[in-house]
Amino acid sequence: MPAVTHASRLHVPLPVHDALRRGRMSEAVTHLREANAGLSSAEARDAVQRLAANPSGALDADDPFRPSGGAAPQDSGTLPSEVAAKLATGNTLDAARRLRDVKPGLSEAEAREEVAKHSSPLLREARQETVVQGDSGRYGWLGWVLALVVIGGGLAIWLG
């Protein structure tokens, strides 16, 4: 069988995408070579690296590594449900980590930017306004504990 040229397309089966999601590049290369007879290991590695960098976004129309047959999920502009669930609870760091698990080609900064783009402005305001103005949020509880100890000590002496 002839090697893949610019005019042909690769068949990218679901096991390739599953291996990429799990971060197993060599397994993804193996599955890709099994699905495309005549594909060299260098071409397969290049294709897998390009798929890892852009797993669901659109590739160039003449790109030989563009998935065919709808094997890759189409980019919908939304976050995966497990990432959205982390974001809904306000845990943006875990949401960014989970997004990197789902899209292994993203850098840490890109994942944080993507999560920040999808986070609600109300959530950002709520997280910023949890600390009372003038309070660092670190030892404000200490004043309340001391006040309760003084009140409790005063009541113990008075009732004595």
The per-residue b/e assignment along 50-67, b for 16 or more CB within 10 angstroms, e otherwise, is bbbebbeeeeeeeebbbb
Asked whether 117 and 150 are in contact (CB, 8 A), the reply is no
% of the chain exceeding 90 in pLDDT: 11
Contact 62, 6 (CB under 8 A): yes
- Pick the most confident of 52-61, 98-107, 133-142: 98-107
What are the domain boundaries of the chain? 1-75, 81-128
Residue 28 scores a pLDDT above 80: yes
Local confidence band at 86 (pLDDT 50, 70, 90 cut-offs): confident
Terminal Cα distance for the chain, rounded: 97
